[in-house]
C-alpha cells in the first residue's frame, strides 16, 4: 500500500526521488520485518494483559505430560497478535495488487479464523476438545480450495509467466526445465490441498512447547524469502530463475515481503513466548502460520522440497499418525507420547534442550533446501 501510494510521487516531484527506493523488494522486505517486530514489541504487553484480564488462559490436557500442569492459566491465543503483526506490514509494504500476495494473506487470515474458533470453544468449554476435527479440516479445505481455484483454474488475473508453471510439479535437486512433472489441474489442486492442510496441521501439532513452533516457522519462512526473491528477480536483464533452472516468475518476488513479515512477527512473539512462556500461540497462530507456509511452498513451486525444509513439522505430524495407527492395529505405542517432542519430555529431556535442538535441526534442513538452488 505504501508502495502504491508513495512511489508514484517520485516520478512527479524531484524532491520525492528518495521514494524511488520503494521499487526495490529487498528494501520493502527489510521494512516489513522491522514494522512487524515493532508492532509486536509495542502491542504485546497490552495484549497479554488483556488476555489475562479476560481469563483467556491455556487449557492443559489431562493425558499430557505432568510437567505441563504448571502452565495452566498462561494466556493463550497470542497467535492473534502474530496474525496482525504479519498481515498489516504485508499490506503496508507489499504490492497489494499482486495475486500471490492476495491469495497467501487470504489463506493465512482464513486459517486464523478457524484457529480462533477452535481456541474459543476450548476456553468457553474449559476443555481441550475445541472445534471438531472434521469441521476444522472442512474449513481448511474450503478456504484452500477457493485460493487454489483462483490461482490454478481461474485465468482472469494470472501473473505473467504463471500459466505455464502452475500445474507443474518441481522435483528437488534437479533441473526444473527438464524434470518437472505436468499434472492434470484436478490432480494438482488435490495435491495442493494436501500440502496446505498438511502443513497447517503439522505446525499446529508442533506447537506444544514454549517457542518450539515459532522457531522453525521463522527459519522456514526465511528460506522461502530467499527463494521467492531469487525466483522472481532479474539480474542485469536476465531472470535468475532461468539461470538457476528453477521455477520462477516476476510476481514471486513480492512473496518475500510476506515471508519477511512472518519473521518479524515471529521474533516479536518469541520475546514473550520463549521458555518459560508468558503467552502461548494457540491454534489461531499455528493454523494460520502453517497455512501461510503451505502457500509459500506451492507458489514458489517447492511442494516436494517442503518435506525436507519443513522436516521438523513433517516428523511431528508423522509421529502422531504412527502412534495412532500402531495403537489401533497392534495395541502398541511406538513413542512414549506423541507428538514426538512429548516423547523426549517423557525420556527426561529438559524442555529448553528439546526446543533448541529442534531449532538446530530446522536450520540444518533449511541450509540443505537452499543448497538445492545451485545443485540443480
Rounded to whole angstroms, the Cα distance separating 207 from 360 reads: 16
Checking 304-309 for CB contacts under 8 A at 24+ apart, the result is 304/169, 304/170, 304/171, 304/172, 305/170, 305/172, 305/369, 305/372, 306/195, 306/199, 308/172, 308/365, 308/368, 308/369, 309/220, 309/223, 309/365, 309/366, 309/369
Beta bridge partners of 234: 239
Q: Give the helix ranges, DSSP H, for 240-346.
A: 240-244, 255-273, 283-299, 305-309, 311-330, 340-346
Q: What is the pLDDT of residue 69?
A: 66
pLDDT for the residue 124:
87
Contact 357, 315 (CB under 8 A): no
Give pLDDT tens digits along the chain (376 positions): 666 666 565 555 544 455 667 788 999 999 999 999 999 999 999 999 999 998 888 777 766 677 676 777 899 999 999 999 999 999 999 998 999 999 999 999 999 999 999 999 999 888 778 899 999 999 999 999 999 999 988 777 788 888 888 899 999 999 898 889 999 989 999 999 999 999 999 999 999 899 999 999 999 999 999 999 999 997 766 788 988 999 999 999 999 999 999 999 999 999 999 999 999 999 999 999 999 999 999 999 999 999 999 999 999 999 999 999 999 999 899 999 999 999 999 999 999 999 999 999 999 999 999 999 887 7
The Cβ of residue 43 has, within 10 Å, a number of other Cβ atoms equal to 15
pLDDT the model gives residue 15? 46
78 vs 170: CA distance, rounded Å:
35
Q: In which residue are the cell numbers 509421529 written? A: 319
Reading the block at residue 192, the C-alpha cell is: 495442493
**pLDDT (0 to 100) of residue 17:** 52
Amino acid at each position: 500500500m505504501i508502495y502504491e501510494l508513495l512511489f508514484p510521487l517520485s516520478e512527479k516531484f524531484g524532491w520525492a526521488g528518495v521514494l524511488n527506493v520503494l521499487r526495490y523488494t529487498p528494501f520493502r522486505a527489510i521494512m516489513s520485518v522491522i514494522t512487524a517486530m515493532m508492532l509486536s514489541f509495542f502491542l504485546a504487553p497490552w495484549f497479554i494483559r488483556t488476555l489475562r484480564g479476560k481469563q483467556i488462559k491455556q487449557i492443559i490436557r489431562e493425558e499430557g505430560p505432568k510437567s505441563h500442569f504448571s502452565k495452566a492459566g498462561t494466556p493463550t491465543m497470542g497467535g492473534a497478535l502474530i496474525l496482525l503483526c504479519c498481515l498489516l506490514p504485508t499490506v503496508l509494504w507489499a504490492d497489494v495488487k499482486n495475486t500471490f500476495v492476495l491469495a497467501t494473506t487470504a489463506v493465512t487470515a482464513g486459517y486464523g479464523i478457524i484457529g480462533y474458533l477452535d481456541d474459543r470453544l476450548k476456553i468457553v468449554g474449559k476443555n481441550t476438545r475445541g472445534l471438531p476435527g472434521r469441521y476444522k479440516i472442512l474449513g481448511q479445505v474450503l478456504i484452500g480450495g477457493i485460493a487454489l481455484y483462483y490461482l490454478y483454474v481461474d485465468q482472469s488475473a494470472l501473473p505473467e509467466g504463471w500459466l505455464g508453471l502452475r500445474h507443474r510439479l518441481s522435483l528437488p535437486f534437479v533441473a526444473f526445465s527438464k524434470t518437472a512433472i505436468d499434472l492434470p489441474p484436478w490432480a494438482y489442486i488435490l495435491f495442493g490441498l494436501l500440502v496446505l492442510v498438511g502443513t497447517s496441521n503439522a505446525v499446529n501439532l508442533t506447537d506444544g512447547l514454549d517457542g518450539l513452533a515459532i522457531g522453525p516457522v521463522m527459519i522456514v519462512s526465511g528460506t522461502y524469502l530467499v527463494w521467492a526473491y531469487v525466483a522472481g528477480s532479474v539480474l542485469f536483464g536476465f531472470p535468475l530463475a532461468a539461470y538457476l533452472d528453477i521455477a520462477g516468475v516476476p510476481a514471486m518476488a513480492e512473496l518475500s515481503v510476506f515471508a519477511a513479515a512472518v519473521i518479524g512477527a515471529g521474533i516479536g512473539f518469541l520475546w514473550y513466548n520463549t521458555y518459560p512462556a508468558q503467552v502461548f500461540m494457540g491454534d489461531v497462530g499455528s493454523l494460520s502460520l502453517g497455512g501461510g507456509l503451505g502457500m509459500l511452498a506451492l507458489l514458489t513451486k517447492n511442494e516436494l522440497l517442503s518435506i525436507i525444509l519443513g522436516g521438523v513439522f513433517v516428523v511431528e505430524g508423522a509421529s502422531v499418525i504412527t502412534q495412532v495407527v500402531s495403537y489401533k492395529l497392534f495395541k502398541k505405542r511406538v513413542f512414549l507420547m506423541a507428538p514426538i517432542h512429548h516423547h523426549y519430555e517423557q525420556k527426561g529431556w529438559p524442555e529448553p534442550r528439546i526446543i533448541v535442538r529442534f531449532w538446530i535441526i530446522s536450520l540444518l534442513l533449511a541450509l540443505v533446501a537452499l543448497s538445492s538452488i545451485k545443485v540443480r
